[in-house]
Amino acid sequence: MNSNGHHTPTSIVQIRSLSKIYEEGGRQRAVLDAVDLDISKGEFFVVLGKSGSGKSTLLNLISAIDRPDGGSICIDGTEITALNERQQTLFRRDHIGIVFQFFNLIPTLTVLENITLPAELRGISLSKVEKQGRALLERVGLAGRADTFPDKLSGGEQQRIAIARALIQEPALILADEPTGNLDEDTGQQVLKLLLELTREAGKTLVMATHSPEIIPFADRVCRIHEGQLVITTDRQAPVLVGAR
């Protein structure tokens, strides 16, 4: 945000005074406490932290899977926190690609059908989405597996399919929640490299929640969630608190 209060044109995500509170044993805990954050177009932004720190909560709020207790989130000029549930679902389908830790593939659909489903739900013609789906399959190195079912694939192969599915809509924003958390180290590195390559090539913004510090060198910016605040760190500056009150 610039000095006169307007959003910078390169910013795709604008978060203002975002709060999320959970009840724990009869007490309230602010996982996010009046946080402000801007994420730029084309940026690889990493949210680092251990389980329960709030990193998945932040991604769920950005994707409108969850609702905040206060504050606002704008994505590409749309205030998603002001939309109703149906509008949020449609916005998420059309503008956000999500890669989950547990792949979330549909077991009764083939690999190609899993990839093309989001585009089909938008009403794009079957011939067009199949062509896009096969091109993405080739990019993720699984061109020969179009008619295979997910249970015949390794974890790494399933996550490659999940990445292709997230990209088929050509969303401006990709959210990845522990995308390597269910994979062995070598496979995880390959999947991470592929995800980063594909999002960079397409000029997309990638926001990743992870507990893996080895991702840090690849990121444009890294933040940790500490006592409800985001602590932003980069190689070029000391840690700074964002949105601290």
What per-residue confidence (pLDDT) applies to 195?
83
- Contacts from 194-198 at CB under 8 Å and sequence distance 24+? 194/140, 194/141, 194/160, 194/163, 195/99, 195/163, 196/44, 198/139, 198/140, 198/163, 198/167
pLDDT at 234: 62
Model pLDDT, residue 62: 93
DSSP string across the chain? --TTSPPPTTEEEEEEEEEEEEEETTEEEEEEEEEEEEEETT-EEEEE--TTSSHHHHHHHHTTSS--SEEEEEETTEEGGGS-HHHHHHHHHHHEEEE-TT----TTS-HHHHHHHHHHHTT--HHHHHHHHHHHHHHTT-GGGTT--GGGS-HHHHHHHHHHHHHTT--SEEEEESTTTTS-HHHHHHHHHHHHHHHHHTT-EEEEEES-GGGGGG-SEEEEEETTEEEEEETTEEEEEES--
Strand partners, 32: 20
C-alpha distances in Å from residue 218, one per residue of 87, 179, 235: 34, 15, 11
Residue 200 banded pLDDT, cuts 50, 70, 90:
confident
Query: Cα–Cα distance between 106 and 117 in angstroms, integer?
Result: 10
**Tell me: the pLDDT tens digits for 138-181?**
888 788 888 888 888 888 888 888 888 888 878 889 999 888 77
Q: pLDDT tens across 126-135, in order?
A: 777 788 888 8
Structure tokens at 231: 């602590």
Question: If you average pLDDT over every residue of the chain, what do you get?
Answer: 81
Highest-confidence segment of 19-23, 121-125, 182-186:
19-23
pTM higher than 0.85 for the full model? Answer: no
pLDDT recorded at residue 237: 39
Average pLDDT estimate for 200-223:
86
| CATH of segment(s) 43-64+84-242 | 3.40.50.300
